[in-house]
Structure 1
Amino acid sequence: MTYSLIRGRPRRAKAHIPVRLAHAVLGAAAGVGWLVLPVMTAASHDPVPATAHGTVASAAATQQGGTSTADLVLPLVAGGAAVVLAGYGCLRRTRRARTRTTPGVVPAAPAAPTPADFDRQARTALVTADDCVRTSREELSFVRQRFARPDTEVFAHALRAAETELSAACAIWRRYEQGVPRDPAARRQALVGVIGRCAEVGRRLDSEAAELDLLRGLEGPGLAEALEAAEERFRELAGRTVTAQETLAALYERYARSAVEPVTGYVEQAKDRLVFATARLNEARQAADRDDGDRAARRLRAAEGAVAQAEVLISGVDRLAAQLRAAAGLLPAALTGAEAELAAARRGGARKPLPYGELHARLTHADTVLATVREEMTSGPYDPLDALYRMTRAVERLENGHAGVLSAAALLVARGSVAEAEEFIGVHRGAVGAEARVRLAEAVRDLSAGDAAGADRAARDSRDRAEQDVRSHGTPYTAASATAPGVPGAVLGGVLLAEEEDGGPPASYGGPETRGRRRLPPP
């Protein structure tokens, strides 16, 4: 039935063409007839009827002069009109044929998405979902500062559910990167799964955004209390920034430069975020005094995001100082444990027997590493975390398995690597791509599963990839920084969504549909 309908309509449409052509020809023929008729009449020699004397003379004079101009006007007009109408009809039919979709003809289907299209969509979805989770976590910390736990549990539950979905999406993507599954259709379905789980992340957070705004009441009575809480946290961080700078200077004196390198620049970045927060808090106060609740809420939310990132940076310096102290205290015992592992390997106590030549090479390498560490400990400032890392990696290659103090050393190193990657990505998320985030998620899973070595490798790779992304991205909004200090850092850190000339709206609790809701209305 469908086939006959589709085939029948074009025939009926084509059947009108001869009729229209016949109308045009008929019109042209009528015009020509009008032109020819006076000529034919003038050429004939029919007798003239008898008339009065005066009339006869006048008529004879007219006939002798030939056909007058007035006799040709009407035929000329009629012919010209017929030609014009025929041309207009032809032109109209041509245009209609070019633009008309013939009824019954099925339009061509859009091109199916390619694997590269699915790949790009999955990467974008992962980055957006991870940003939403991080932003929601930051704002929720300010909400919990003011409200009791039962009042905020629904938002915390949505955030935990979103984190679970994001972790699953990252795991699927990681297997996809490793070539699992291999079948093209299954790989395409895996990417669809990543996109779907990321969409669920956004849905869970979007569903609670309005309730969180209602609880906070930033556009109304809750604004004053929220401003006081943010300013209190800001003042605390300002004091901690001075202490962190002193801590950093002490670390440079006590340890090797490589030990402090992971947090190099953290204090300066924290100060930049606090400068931005200072300006936004002042603007929020001014807007509140003018009863401009929308603008005050927008400025306050931007200040909160900057304060949260400054806290991450300052805490990173304190965290590294504590881990370096712990590593330095653990190192002598770790040396003793590593020597015991080497002795056991020489006695053939390895869980996985190795060929003699390979075992001998690995033992020699481990002996060299231990000797180097002992020399570093007595020759001046050194990097205790790096010393533990090299020792645990050397002993790991003996296939004995870590036990006792070496397990604790490997865990300390892995936790440090994961924390460094987490901090760096969190305060540079405006430039970090999907790969670094996925590797960090893998490191967190490995650490939870007790695989310290795997967590350390994934975290170091994550940090390296993130640093490459930031270097490739460059510094945004350099022009805006002249009039609004701190804007480039806020955009780079994802505090502002970079959708407008001033940096855009602040990122808020929620998914892709609601996280940028604090936009100012057009003037």
Structure 2
Amino acid sequence: MLAVIAAALVLAPVTAAEPPFRVPDYVTDNAGVLSQAQRTRVEDAVNELYNERRVRLWVVYVDSFGQDPVGWARVTMQISDFGDYDALLAVATRERAYAFQVPSAIMSQSDATALQRNAIEPALRQRDWTAAAVAAADGLATPGASTGPSSGSGVTWYGLLIALAIFGLIILGLVLWSRRRRRKRREAEFAAAKRVDPLDPNALAAVPIEALDDLSKMMVVDVDNAVRTSESELALAVEEFGTAQTEPFSRAVGSAKTTLAQAFNVRQILDDAVPETMQQRRDLLTRVVVAAAKADRELDAQSEAFDKLRDLVINAPTRLDTLTQQMVDLTARLGPSEQALAALHNQFDAAALASVAENVNTAKQRLGFADQNITTARTSVARPVGQQMGLVDAIRAAESSLGQARSLLDAVDSAGADINRAVAALPDAIADIQNGVNQANGVLQQGTTTHQSELSAARDQAAAAIADAQKNGSADPLGTFTRLTKADAELDRLLASVTEELQTTKRLSRAFDQALFSAQSRVRGVSDFIDTRRGSVGPEARTRLAEAVRQLQAAQDTRATDLSQAIAHANGADMLASQAQTLASNDVAAAQRSYTSGWGGGGSGSDMGGVIGGIIIGNILSGALRGGFGGGFGGFGGGLGMGRSTSFGGSSRSSGRSYSGGGGRF
């Protein structure tokens, strides 16, 4: 018989108890008793409770508590940092135990007991885990409502029917109101979702999942319509302009169709019979929205160019007239530009005019090419619609040629003024860059900058530019001025960086001196405090002081190489010394209390001072005091010799919060 019992005990299933833990989410199903639909129902009830009363209900399912349910729940709530508006329903499904804890500020004990007895426990007895959580949420949403069976006498059937009718109307009104409220909330969320950047997954992560679903459906429909419309317009454009002119638009439509197909494929996954988790569904919806938005952007990127292409053909006759007039105007400028160029050659060397010497001849070539393309375009315009191949290319070629001819002639007209301006500005430019060279020499002699080699190279380049300007300035004023300004700009940039670096170094040096002085003063003061009270200060304060001294030395060692790090070390030393002072003061205060209480007020103040200061530990503790005060000194010795601070690392304080509810078996 004993063997049978032992075998039964060995073979019996053992459910490991789950210790209290920090609750990660409003619904935590470590027991695995909820389906996805059931979890969603519980989450909806919890969210509805928060929206109505700003009360947070946390629901936890585990296999076993392994201890008193209420105690398990209280520890879990403490670990989870629950506040005055956090309630917990914890259920151990296998050991049939539960706890329902709610702050008294939310629900009274009587209401909590009624809610447990009449709503939560009946559902748990039926193993309807979802109904129990929903009942808890509903009960918290309407505290004080009757949750138990009614009793009484003298109620007529007529009055009962009226009451039931009124109750039914109220329920119907609440249902309609709730549906309307949810619809308006969903509409508001959808409107907000449409304002989010659809190409930003991080922004989409904040959109409620129902609004994200609505957004994905709207976008695939809108983009599909846009793709279909673009395909129709593209077919007409290809017939009118040919494949070469419309190739960018064809590529954009094809890319948009491919991206949209990916979006439709993901929507199919969402709409099939296979359920997804909430996170999987959110990830798929985000992919749909991003893909549809990408396809839409690809079409938008080419829409403006497509419209311009269509307008160019429609307005071709007017455009050609304008180009013809521009050509006449530019042709009239050729003679004056030739005369201006000849005058410049008489005034300046050929090197100064190298950039514009051939401009007039080149402009004549561009005008001839423009005239040829204008003639070709007019021939194309005269053909029927659909046979105007080459029209767009001819118009654009003419426009480009005329633009280049205009730029060439403008350069000739402005060359004289630019060169004369450069000649007038050269002396000031040379003087300015010479000042920069002198300033760079002064900085390089100090040898205190990290830009030493760069600044030296820039100074040498600036000096070379000065020498070149003094030698060749009259032959090529514009080129000389350009080289001067370029060298000056680089030298000024490096000088500005060096100046800022030196100013930063000065500021950091002042900050370091201040931090070092403060840390040294505090470390010295704490060291003196501990030294004169060494008989009562424990190891924690001494450890902090030793680390402060180490940080202080590190600050001084790193000053020459890294001022920022040195300041950090000094500030760290200051903070550690402050902690050491607090710990040491607490130890001394504890020793004084222990001295007074341990000796019953006996002994002189000077004796206590000697003990605390560590002066008479060696002779008196081993002799007269031990005999004179007996066993009472044992506690004092522990308080002084091995005193521990009770402040470092924080303290555990009771919040004073009271709870309603309870727990038990079901």
Task: Answer whether TM exceeds 0.5 for this pair.
Answer: no
Normalised by the length of structure 2, the TM-score is 0.26
Choose 1 or 2 for highest CA Rg: 2
Higher RCO (C-alpha under 8 Å, 6+ residues apart)? 1
